[in-house]
Chains A and B, each alone.
Chain A
Amino acid sequence: MKFTTKEIMSILPHKAPFLLVDKVIECEPGKYALGIKNVTIDEPFFQGHFPTEPILPGVLIVESIAQVTAVMYCAEFMESMKQDASANNLSEVDIAKKIAEHVGYLVEIKSMKFKKTVHPGDTLHIQVWKKTTFASLSLIEAKVVVDNEIVAEGKISVSEKN
């Protein structure tokens, strides 16, 4: 499964300037996803972080991991909607709205290492795997790669909104 920017914008509640994933190029619904984010000097936070040395804030890398995770989750919900015959009558907008309702929250940053700084011009390859689910919480393992080098890796937990 793949998602374009437009599709991601329709299924995630996040919007500019806080949509931190450009596209998802691989996705196994509910299990794994690989998202792409291109970092550009245009982004507003570079004005202050830092004026003479633009570095992508680590917390925003964590947010981009959470957003790719959200897409992975939505993909799972989309799959289950396909099986549900009653959803066939819904318009695309309604379906997107229903999916957006399922995007939960970040509940824990279990561990995160930032191994290299990220600069404008870099392309983040954000990989996320679901490790376990218990109740409405899931533990996610993530790795972020730029030019075949790991820039961040760690574990986060997210909640599902029912």
Chain B
Amino acid sequence: MHSENELGYQTRSDGFGILYGEIAGALIERCGRNGMGIVRKAVAAYGKKKGKRLREQYMGSGVRTDLHNLMAAEDGCWKDPRTLKTTVRDTPEAQLWEIYSCPLEKNWRDRGREEAGRLYCEEYLHALMDGYGEGAGQANVSNSKTCRRDDRCVMAMYCRTANQNETQKGTGDGNGIIREIPVEESTLLLYRCFIEVMKEEKDAEVVAAVTYGIKNGAEIMAETLIKKADHVGRSLDEDFLMEFFPFCRMEELREDRILRQCFLHVFDECLQKGGWL
């Protein structure tokens, strides 16, 4: 049972998982080991940028850049109500936690994207910590639900003041506002990291795989949105998309050539079906 707000959040979160799963899946299937390397690079770039963005956001608003505040905004999964998590320790220098139900993992498993999920979990938290801690601190993912052996995620992060220089310690005093980076911003950031890595590769097969993955993702998202609108008795209009679609700011779609190619025709059809266009 979830509220309408939660349903919107969950659907946007699923959109992130779908997009990642389809791009990463296409790269792994079409480009093999090289594709896996590209996926890892993109996830690492995404995690690092997200960590840096959080750090800058905190520094700008006077929030202490410690691990308690990192976890308040980002715990490796979303603030998705479907996440079932136990916090084992919550201090500024150490965070220990376990996750028993992860919507991203379920999303990938349901659609046969387990391998893509495994790569994500191996890279993401390490990169997030790297970006947030400016090189001080460490992330540990001893178990993750995306690994066949495991039935839960077992994670820890440490960032000791004894290991930090003055820059790494930051200047915040902990009294500012802590805000999660919205799912839609994360989705766009992840997408852009894939595009950056793809451009660096200068390989036609990689470009084809990424484009194919985005198109597939767009189609799956469109189907999901049509179904969701029907299930909640809503029109498939701009208001609905703002709540349920991870690329909710449609101008992003229009400004980006690849996104426009991959998404707009799908959503034009989708919006026509919903009577919005």
- The finding on whether chains A and B are genuine partners in a shared complex, rather than unrelated, reads no
Which B residues are within 8 Å of any A CB, using their own CB?
Answer: none
Which A residues are within 8 Å of any B CB, using their own CB?
Answer: none
